[in-house]
Amino acid sequence: MKITLSVNDRSVDVDVAPSTMLVDVLRDELGITSARATCGVGLCGTCTVLLDGRPVSSCLLMAPLAIGKRITTVEGLPDDDAVVRCFSERHAFQCGFCIPGMVLTARDMIDTGRANTPEEIREGLGGNLCRCGCYVKIVDAIEEAAR
């Protein structure tokens, strides 16, 4: 089916099977590789995108369900985004595979006032796994970005 999606404030037309997951549309149709399917079952957060500003697992969201909503990937954050800056400056990454999802989750936590303490930040990251184990620096980066 032909659908129109709003991705990073641009309108894009794609032709996909109705059951196609959003992560596959982003990667295969639009070439946005920052959304990554790792677990495929909504547990790891590497496929996180923002849908009208709220994080969702794009591995579980059928693309047509995103019609009419604003989809934001890490590429769509402003150049001076504080989360991006703090992750970069604090070197809060190793391989980086999980990081775009972490950044978007953090963006939402900060926007909704749920990044006030390290404990709160850790809670908020419960659905974002980092096998490289960068959590110490990730939590520090989010704490700083929230200030």
Chain residues in the site for ligand FES (CB under 6 A): 37-40, 42-47, 57, 59, 93-99, 130-132, 134
Give residues 66-95 in contact with another protein (rule: CB under 8 A).
73-75, 77, 79-80, 84-85, 87-95
Q: Whole-number minimum distance, CB 128 to ligand FES, in Å?
A: 9
Assigned token pair, 45: 């957060």
User: Is 49 in contact with 72 (CB distance < 8 Å)?
Assistant: yes
Q: Which is nearer to ligand FES, 46 or 146 (CB)?
A: 46
Name the E strands within the chain: 2-7, 10-15, 48-51, 54-57, 70-72
Question: Among 3, 51, 137, 144, which residue interacts with another protein (rule: CB under 8 A)?
Answer: 137
DSSP 8-state code for residue 135: H
Q: Which of 50, 21, 51 is nearest to 37 (CA)?
A: 21
Our separate counts of H helices and E strands in the chain read 5, 5
Q: Whole-number minimum distance, CB 71 to another protein, in Å?
A: 12
| Per CB under 8 A, 39 contacts another protein | yes
Assigned token pair, 71: 């989809």
Q: Whole-number minimum distance, CB 28 to another protein, in Å?
A: 9
| Per CB under 8 A, 139 contacts another protein | yes
